[in-house]
Amino acid sequence: MPTITIDGKQIEFKQGQTVIEVAYEAGVEIPHFCYHPKLSISGNCRVCLVEIEKMPKLAISCATLAGDGMVVHTNSAKTLEARNAVMEFILINHPLDCPICDEAGECKLQDYAYAHSRGESRFEEIKNRKEKRVQLGPRIKFDGDRCISCSRCIRFSDEIAKSNQLTFTNRGDKVTISTFPGESFDNPYSMNTVDICPVGALTNNDFRFKSRVWEMSFTDSICVGCARGCNTEIGVRNNEILRLTPRQNEEVNSFWMCDNGRLNTFKNVNAEDRIDGTFVRKEGQLQKVNWDEALEVAAKSLKEYKSGEIAFVGSAFATCEDNFVLAKLAKQLNIASVDFARHSVAGDQDDILIREDKTPNTAGAELVFTKTNGAKLEGIFRLIKEGKVKTLFVMEDDLGSINDEWEQALGMLDLLIVTATNSNKTTALADIVFPAASYAEKHGTFVNFQGRVQRIRPAVSLDEMDRALDGMNMSRWDKFGTKFDRWNQGHKYDAKPSWKILAQLSSHLGGKIKYEMAEEVFAEIANSVDAFKGLDYDEIGELGIQLKISEKVEK
Amino acid sequence: MAEKKRLKNLTFLEKMYIPEIVKGLALTLKQMLSPSVTMQYPEVKFEPPASYRGRPVLVQETNGTERCVACGLCSRVCPALAIEVQAAETELEKERYPQKFEINMLRCIFCGFCEEVCPEEAIVMSKDYELVFQNRESAIYGKDKLLVPVDELKDRIDFLRKFKK
Ligand code: SF4
Ligand code: SF4
Ligand code: SF4
Ligand code: SF4
């Protein structure tokens, strides 16, 4: 294999790799703005200049192919001088308005200015002013002053989103970004440009000014918007989700996520209609009761029916753990009719990320339900209509919203028990409602359409949890806040993960299902479902693991 | 019991005490005749110099708006976590303003870091040292209590411009 020497380190590389890539793999970060591993090389920012022996001039490492025997210096006096000069040049017209810029705290320009520039400006003339607060698209605002013309956003729109909506206009120091006449920067992936913009020129309308990034905690999670299961990071402040950003996973979503997933999969967590506490229908009204009473009423009412009159409906929105415990409780009660609803939107799919299946865990629910041989969902629906199924347990799915017939069917039941995160048509008809933890409040696993099992972790604390004791990620506010600080009084919902509710219900019914942690449920899944054999949470880790299921290999 | 050791043995005169008593009485007499410096607080109030660090306040421009851009730097630097800022967008040129700005006066230690870090000269230490509250809630000062017209803060701002680099 050919080798290259970077800062005295001998590194092997593959023919065709650029110097910046080889350096990155060896743990040497060469400063860069315009270079992005998933975009074409533009080479316009010049910050990645390095000294290469035997070359007459400094070379930009993003566009220089590594050659056998090359000797590269990324921190020599000559390189540093050039880097400082480039930084000074880029900063000439930059407004330096970090105090009002959302990027501050995670800004490449800010970091490099601190690490690599001369520290003082020699520019005494009046800075160039450009347009500010330009609504580039429905979800993105653009600040012309801050833009350093790296063209990442343009290349993203051309090469990844394939929408060709952005371009440079004007020349020299007047250059700026705009959409083509009559176009708006509106495509399903547009907001990824906010993440890759190395400065704060592109801002997320939804998150704009909501919080400084250093005030938040960040937790690795999975998007629940569709069966892709994009890897995400949940940004939380004061126990409220403020932002989702994609997390790199080359097997699933690379660096990206879609705008719908980014904006519409977290707001329900802190929404007004969140179910907070347990409810039992008394005199026609759902009334708040304590957990023991609700569990007692649920157990007592379930006992009044024969197992043939009861059906259980799981959910592709719930984790494998939730569905597994549901199937187990069904077995304890001898209930054969166990299934879950599919939520596919035909045609709403592309070859980038978005999938027709709008749930995160259809594959997982299928895997843990395989052994049942009672009625499927259609059958359950028919049995309800025929009056044969009188009792339904619905976990985390809004069957009442599938269509009017389902809503009617639910109305015909004698007893409807649900676990749900938010109020919906199904909870409105229910006799007993248990508040379910959302995906951002529990541990668990989802299996995406490729058959990849991935973990979710709690980012928002429930009433029964404690950030410190439960090992959740904490911001500085979380660490030092007391109950007297208004910035530490974010509401904690009185909810539990569905698997826990089911396990407690089981013991009220005289069963032996008992788990303390989601991890224990998963251990049992790993023991009893072939596809999960030998896995545990540590093994799945941050990036998930491909299950050995033959028919799913699609990427 | 061990014998007590003196650092210094008293001389004969000192052992007599009388000269020491005279010295003491002379001092008392001197103080009685010199002018009094005690202030009759609260009837008379101490007017601190510009360098004094009283409670931190927000600068209110002559047009009534706050100078603060809600950058949150004061909140970040505050060693006592006394400050909470919630930003929001404004049509003004500064783009953002503090929708909520609260200082918990029970947490504040009057260090002046917030004033030092502020990029806008929007939070300054005032001369106000009279802080009275009867419960924790009322110790949290919102914008209503924090905003002070810029004219009233001239002393401090001049001081800062002279000495703050
Ligand atoms: S808006 Fe951002 S990503 Fe686009 S060219 Fe300017 S600095 Fe680069
Ligand atoms: S593609 Fe699917 S999983 Fe990915 S962000 Fe969009 S909705 Fe979420
Ligand atoms: S004076 Fe010090 S303790 Fe008080 S608010 Fe300012 S930074 Fe915090
Ligand atoms: S540092 Fe100054 S501008 Fe920033 S939030 Fe505090 S008072 Fe406002």
Question: What digits encode the pLDDT tens for the residues A246-263?
Answer: 999 999 999 999 999 999
Q: Which of B96, B118, B133 to mutate to test the interface with A (most CBs of A within 10 A)?
A: B96
Asked whether the predicted pLDDT for residue A553 surpasses 80, the reply is: no
Do B81 and A100 count as a contact with CB atoms less than 8 A apart?
no
Look at B94 and A210 and tell me if their CB atoms are within 8 Å: no
Residues B147 and B58 sit within 8 Å (Cβ to Cβ): yes
A137 lies in a domain?
yes
Please state, in angstroms and rounded to a whole number, the distance separating the CA atoms of residues A548 and A118.
Answer: 55
pLDDT score for A555: 42
B68 is a domain residue: yes
Q: What is the CATH number for B117?
A: 3.30.70.3270
A16-20, A70-74, B8-12, B22-26, range with the lowest pLDDT: B8-12
Q: Can you tell me the distance from the alpha carbon of A233 to that of A56, in angstroms, rounded to the nearest whole number?
A: 44
Minimum distance, in Å, between the CA of residue B69 and any CA atom of chain A: 7
User: Do A364 and A504 belong together in one domain?
Assistant: yes
Average pLDDT over residues A427-451: 97
* CATH code of the domain containing A134: 3.30.70.20
Does A69 share its domain with A103?
A: no
Residue B63 has pLDDT above 70, yes or no: yes
Q: What is the pLDDT, as a whole number, of residue B10?
A: 82
pLDDT of residue A349: 96
- Residue A108 to residues A103, A122, A199, B10, B73, Cα–Cα distance (Å): 9, 21, 6, 74, 19
Closest approach of chain A CAs to the CA of B44, in angstroms?
35
Domain annotation covers residue A273: no
Structure letter (DSSP) for residue A34: S
Task: Enumerate residues 89 to 148 of chain B having a beta carbon within 8 A of any beta carbon in chain A.
Answer: 89, 94-96, 102, 104, 119-120, 136, 140
Is B119 close to A99, i.e. CB distance below 8 A? yes
Chain B nearest CA to A208, separation (Å) = 8
Q: From the CB of residue A536, how many other CB atoms can be counted at a distance below 10 Å?
A: 12
Tell me what pLDDT residue A548 has: 86
pLDDT at B6 over 80: no
Instruction: For residues B22-44, give the mean pLDDT.
Output: 93
Nearest CA in chain A to B119: A99
User: Are A397 and A313 within 8 A, CB to CB?
Assistant: yes
- What's the gap in Å between B88 CA and the centre of ligand 2? 29
Write the pLDDT tens digit of every residue in A290-321.
999 999 999 999 999 999 999 999 999 999 99
Q: Which domain holds residue B156?
A: 56-163
Is the CB of B73 inside a 6 Å radius of any atom of ligand 4? Answer: yes
Instruction: State how far the Cα of A314 lies from the Cα of A380, in Å rounded to an integer.
Output: 12
Amino acid at residue number A549: I
pLDDT confidence tier of residue A375, bands split at 50, 70 and 90? confident
Report the relative pairing of strands B147-149 and B56-60 from DSSP bridges.
parallel
Q: Does A484 touch chain B (CB under 8 A)?
A: yes
Give the closest ligand to the alpha carbon of residue A209: 4
My answer on whether A192 and A50 are in the same domain is: no
**Cβ of residue B71 closer than 8 Å to a chain A Cβ:** yes
Within-domain flag for A312:
yes
pLDDT at A104: 96
**Ligand lying closest to the C-alpha of residue A199:** 1
Together in a domain, A178 and A128:
yes
The β-bridge relationship of strands A391-395 and A415-420 is parallel
Cis ω before B42 (30° cut-off from 0): yes
Contact residues for A250 (Cβ-Cβ < 8 A; gap 6+): none
Counting one residue from A and one from B, how many pairs have CB atoms under 8 Å apart?
Answer: 41
Q: Please work out whether the CB of residue A72 comes within 6 Å of at least one atom of ligand 1.
A: no
- Taking residues A121-145, what's their average pLDDT? 93
Q: Do A416 and A389 meet the contact criterion of CB atoms below 8 Å apart?
A: no
Q: What is the pLDDT of residue A191?
A: 98
Q: Do B76 and A209 touch (CB under 8 A)?
A: no
Chain A interface disruption, residue of B77, B91, B92, B95, most A CBs within 10 A = B95
Domain annotation covers residue A247 = no
Of the two residues A131 and A119, the one the predictor is more confident about is: A131
Residue A554 predicted with pLDDT over 50: no
- Whether residue B13 is contained in a domain is answered as no
Residues of chain B positioned with their CB less than 8 A from the CB of A477: 81
Which residues are paired to A452 by β-bridges?
A: A546
Q: Which atom of ligand 2 is nearest to the CA of A188?
A: 6
**Shortest CA gap B25–chain A (Å):** 54
Looking up residue A296, the CATH number of its domain turns out to be: 3.40.50.740
Give the chain A residue nearest B88 (alpha carbons). A209
Let me know if residue A177 belongs to a domain: yes
Any atom of ligand 1 within 6 Å of the Cβ of A197: yes
List residues bridging with A357 in a β-sheet.
A344
Alpha-carbon distance of A257 to A353, in angstroms, equals 7
Cβ–Cβ < 8 Å for A419, A519:
no
Chosen domain end from A178, A209, A240: A209
Structural domain boundaries enclosing A200:
95-107+122-209
Whether residues A99 and B73 touch (CB distance < 8 A) is answered with: yes
* Average predicted confidence (pLDDT) for chain A: 95
Q: Which atom of ligand 2 is nearest to the CA of A360?
A: 3
- Same domain for A409 and A368, yes or no, is yes
Q: Is A360 contained in some domain?
A: yes
Confidence of residue B2 (pLDDT cuts 50, 70, 90): low
* A129 interface with B at CB cutoff 8 Å: no
Residue B63 distance to chain A (closest CA, Å): 21
pLDDT by residue (tens digit) across A201-243?
999 999 999 999 999 999 999 999 999 999 999 999 999 999 9
pLDDT number for residue B8 = 81
Q: What integer best gives the mean pLDDT of chain B? A: 93
The total of structural domains in chain A comes to 3
Identify the H or E element spanning A405: helix A404-412
Query: Would you say residue B48 lies in a domain?
Result: no
CATH number of A55's domain:
3.10.20.740
Residue B87, in any domain of the structure: yes
**Does ligand 2 lie within 6 Å of residue A4's CB atom?**
no
A37 plus A127 within the same structural domain: no
Same domain as A311, residue A181: no
**A430, A503: one domain:** yes
Cα–Cα distance measured from residue A469 to residue B48, given in angstroms and rounded to the nearest whole number: 47
Per-residue pLDDT of A82-121, as tens digits, reads 999 999 999 999 999 999 999 999 999 999 999 888 888 8
Same domain, A448 and A503: yes
Residue to probe by mutation, ligand 2, list A247, A259, A260, A357, most atoms within 8 Å of CB: A260
Span from the CA of A227 to the centroid of ligand 2 (angstroms): 7
Identify the pLDDT of residue B5.
Answer: 75
Say how many domains are in chain B: 1
Provide the ipTM: 0.90
Q: Using the 3D structure, point to which of A209, A232, A251 is the last residue of a domain.
A: A209
pLDDT of residue A371: 65
- Specify the pLDDT at position B165: 67
